[in-house]
Every structure is written in structure tokens, then in C-alpha cells.
Structure 1
């Protein structure tokens, strides 16, 4: 092998090495750019969706506190209890974000919220159809409890989303804690009332 051949081989090897190094640099830059883009998308999604989730949870609390009265009196005509607070809405698929940046379990729980909400409304429609005026006690008890339970679920999902995105938690969470504790109080109160009623019915059936 003469010097010319050696020089050619060295030149060819240098060229190949240069191409490889260039491709590696491009791949690294693209990976870095994609990570930055993914982080921006995740941050944008989290900020926007957490806001929607918190508003929905606040709406659930309002429904959970609605017993069909206004200022201590039945809200409807002829002494009937009537809904005074409209149910909140959460239309996840109308929020324009890149949902695929989330882990599957978290994405599923968020996108399933409208289905859970619809299931509650369908159940309440069936209860109301056969409930008795003027108090509609079964309907309002179920409505208050179901929305309190849904609100707690949504609040927990919002916390998971904040944690996943590395969002800083607010220094003052008293409002959120108060909201969640009030919804839990609604559930406890209704459960205690139902347990007492069932106990009375069981006792009366023995007499």
C-alpha cells in the first residue's frame, strides 16, 4: 500500500467520522429541543387544566351544599324544594392541549371526568322521577353526596397533575383544604343521616 492509498483511506475515514459526529450532534440537538417542547407543552397543559379542574371542584361544592332551599325556606313554588345551583361542566376534549404528554393513568382519569359526571346526572334523573314532593329528600341527598364525592375525586386528580408537572404548590392552600373538608363533611352528614334512618327502620320492623 503506497502513501497515496494510505492518505485516501485516512481522508475517507475522516470524512465518515465527520458525518457520524454531525449526525450525533443533530440527534442530540433534536432530543434536547423535543424535551424542551415536551416540558413546555406539559407545563401549559397543567396550568390550563388545573384551572379547569379547580373551577369544576368549586362547582361541585356549590351543588353539594344545595339542599333545595333558599334562605332556609323551600326554593320552589308551593313549598317544594327546588335546585338552586346549576351543575358545573368540564368538557375535557374541548380543552386544546396535547393530552399525550401525560402518563396514561392520569390522562385517563382526567378524560373520564365528563363520563363520571354524565353517569351521576343519569342516576339523579331516575331518582327524581320517582321521588316524593315537597322535599324530594332522596334526590337531594343523592345529588349532594354524589357531587361532593365527584368534587373530591377531581380535587385529587388536580393535585396529581400539579405533582406530575412539578408545579409549585401555593403557600396558602386554606381555600382548597376548606373546599375539600366541606365536601367531606357533606358526605359524612348524609351517611350519618342514612345510617340513623336505617337503624330506626330496622328497630321498628322488630316491634
Structure 2
């Protein structure tokens, strides 16, 4: 092979190498720009969505404290118990953000919050059909506890979102009021009330021969 051919081949290879390197560098630049955009989109999403989640958690907390009374008396007319706080709303798909930048499990948990709220509403509607408005009974215990649990879940999701985006996570100093502790306190209090009620009911069944004999099979 003469020198001219060798020189031509070297020139061609050099040109191809230059094209390949140029394409590779362009690809790296595009990847870098896409990563920067995703980070910016993710930060914007986290800042905006956590504010909505915090507002929703506050609404859950208000519902968790609503026992159907106002100033210690039944909130409705003629001594009827009725809700004083409307359930909060959270409509994530109306928030203009790029959801796809989130990990799928985190995105799923955020987008499922409205479904959890609807499940609570449906369950309470069923309970409401059989309650005495003059006796708060199971309805308000269920409503308070369900919204307390949803509030805790929402706070946990918001914390995960902040952590994912590298945003600061504010934790109240020890000894100061804590929203999560307040929600957990509602759950604990209602669980104690239910346990005490069921204990009284069981004792009353044991003392009353009519109740004690229920369910016994005659021989």
C-alpha cells in the first residue's frame, strides 16, 4: 500500500473519530442539561407539592379534633351533634408540575392521597345512615381517627418528598407542640375510649341474663 493510500485512510479514520467524539460530547452535554432540568423540576415540584400536603395535613388535623361539639355543647340545633369542619381537599393532578421526575413509589403515594380521602368519606357515609344525631357514637370516633391517620400518612409522605429533593426538614424542638404527636394523641385517645366502651358493654352483657344467654345453643 503506497503512502498516499495510507494517508487517505488515516485522514478518513481521523474524521470518523472526530465525528464520533463530537457526537459523544453532544450526548454528554444533553444528558447533563437534562439532569439539571430534572433537578430544577424536582425542586420546584417538591416546594410546591409539600405546601399543598402541609395544608391538607392541617385540614386532617382540624377534622381529627372535630367531635361534633362547639364550646363543649353539641354543635347542631336541638342538641344534635354535627361536624363543624369540612374535610380538606387535595387535587394533585391540578398542580402544574412534572410528576415523572419523582420515583414511582413516592409519586404513587402522593397521587393516592385523594383516593384515601374518598375511602374515608364513603365509609363515614355508610356509618351516618345508622347513627342517632343525639349520640355521637361511632361516627365521630371513626371520623376523627380516620383523619388523624390520614394526616399522619400525609406528613410522612411530605417528609419523604422533602428528603428526596434535599429540602430542609423542620422538626419541632423536644417539648414543643408537634402536629404529628397531636394526631397520634387523637388516635390513642379514641382507642382508649373505644376499649373502655367495649369493656362496659361486655360487663353489661354479663350482668344481664338476657344478654348472657344470647348465642347459647339449647340442649
**TM-score greater than 0.5 by the shorter chain:** yes
What is the CA–CA distance in structure 2 between the aligned matches of 1:202 and 1:171, rounded to whole Å? 43
Deviation at 1:5, TM superposition (A): 0.8
Which runs of no fewer than 5 residues in structure 2 stay unpaired?
A: 208-219
TM-score normalised to structure 2 length: 0.90
Residues 59 and 88, structure 1, Cα contact 8 Å, conserved in 2: yes
What is the CA–CA distance in structure 2 between the aligned matches of 1:65 and 1:89, rounded to whole Å? 17
What is the CA–CA distance in structure 1 between the aligned matches of 2:163 and 2:83, rounded to whole Å? 36
What is the CA–CA distance in structure 2 between the aligned matches of 1:195 and 1:168, rounded to whole Å? 39
Aligned equivalent of 2:169: 169
Residues 149 and 187, structure 1, Cα contact 8 Å, conserved in 2: yes
What is the CA–CA distance in structure 2 between the aligned matches of 1:202 and 1:71, rounded to whole Å? 32
Deviation at 1:135, TM superposition (A): 2.8
Residues 120 and 146, structure 2, Cα contact 8 Å, conserved in 1: yes
Aligned equivalent of 1:192: 192
What is the CA–CA distance in structure 1 between the aligned matches of 2:108 and 2:50, rounded to whole Å? 15
Trace 1:125-164 onto structure 2 (pairs within 5 A). 125-164=125-164
Residues 99 and 107, structure 2, Cα contact 8 Å, conserved in 1: yes
Deviation at 1:171, TM superposition (A): 6.6
**Across the two proteins, how many residue pairs are aligned to each other?**
206
What is the CA–CA distance in structure 2 between the aligned matches of 1:57 and 1:99, rounded to whole Å? 20
- CA radius of gyration, larger in: 2
Q: Determine helix, strand or coil for the equivalent of 1:130.
A: coil
What is the CA–CA distance in structure 1 between the aligned matches of 2:90 and 2:42, rounded to whole Å? 19
Aligned equivalent of 2:21: 21
Aligned equivalent of 1:83: 83
Residues 1:115 and 2:93 are matched in the alignment? no
Cα shift readout 1:139-198 (whole Å, capped 9, x = no counterpart)? 111111110010000000101111111112237578x96111111111101000000111
Q: CA RMSD in A?
A: 1.5
Deviation at 1:100, TM superposition (A): 1.2
Which of the pair is proportionally richer in helix? 1
Which runs of no fewer than 5 residues in structure 1 stay unpaired?
A: none
Q: Determine helix, strand or coil for the equivalent of 1:93.
A: helix
